[in-house]
Each structure stands twice: as C-alpha cells, then as structure tokens.
Amino acid sequence: MIRYLIFVVLLITFSSCSNDDESSRDSLNEQLNEILAMAESVPCEDSAEWRIVGLGAKPCGGPSSFIAYSVAINTETFLELVEQYNSDSKAFNEREGLISDCAIVLQPNGIICENGRAILVYEPF
C-alpha cells in the first residue's frame, strides 16, 4: 500500500518533466528505492518499535507522503537518506516549476503491524 501511494505521488509529480531532467528523476527514483528497501527490511511485529517520517516534497510545501520505519534499522542513516531525498525533491520541484493542489498531506495517527508489514493508520477527527 505504501509503495502504491508513493508511486502515484511520484507519477503525478514527474509526469510533466522534460527529458532533460531524466537523470534527476532517475536519481530521485534510486534514492526512493534505497529508502523503501531500508524501511521494508525489518518485519513489523511490534508497532511500538516503529516511527513515521515525512517523505518527499510537495511543490507548495510539506511532505508528499509519509513512511514508517523500524527503530531496529540504522535510523541515523535512514533519516539522512530521507532528508537528502526530501531536499532533492524540493529542488527538483523548484527547478521544474512544478505545481500541485497545495492540499496538506495529513500525518498518520499511528502504525499497526499486519502480516509483517507496517500499516499507517489515519483516524478521522
């Protein structure tokens, strides 16, 4: 589910990109794949051992999505990768003059573990 949401966000974001920036898109995709691989490298068995971080950058500001990660991974390296990805995403948006709906992406209220996967929980107000 997380991969699907991130894929949709990236597809919309990058659909208006020129061929000149293919290497930038490829670099962002490689960064994202590394982040996803780290986030999914540990099975989710206890949601108390998981945290949430904003991922990507919407052209109007704020994260484009959120991702769960286990405290069992190298969190320092993981968060550095996320920070670099977020910075590079923001720079790409600015360089390309991308626009978005400017809707705020709500942060999940928590995480549950289901079949070894971390599921982000969004509860209504």
**Distance separating alpha carbons of residues 80 and 108, to the nearest angstrom:** 21
pLDDT, tens only, 66-112: 999 999 999 999 999 999 999 999 999 999 888 888 888 899 999 99
Q: Is the pLDDT of residue 46 over 70?
A: yes
Residues with Cβ < 8 Å from 71, sequence gap 6 or more?
A: 49, 50, 51
Amino acid code (one letter) for 17: C
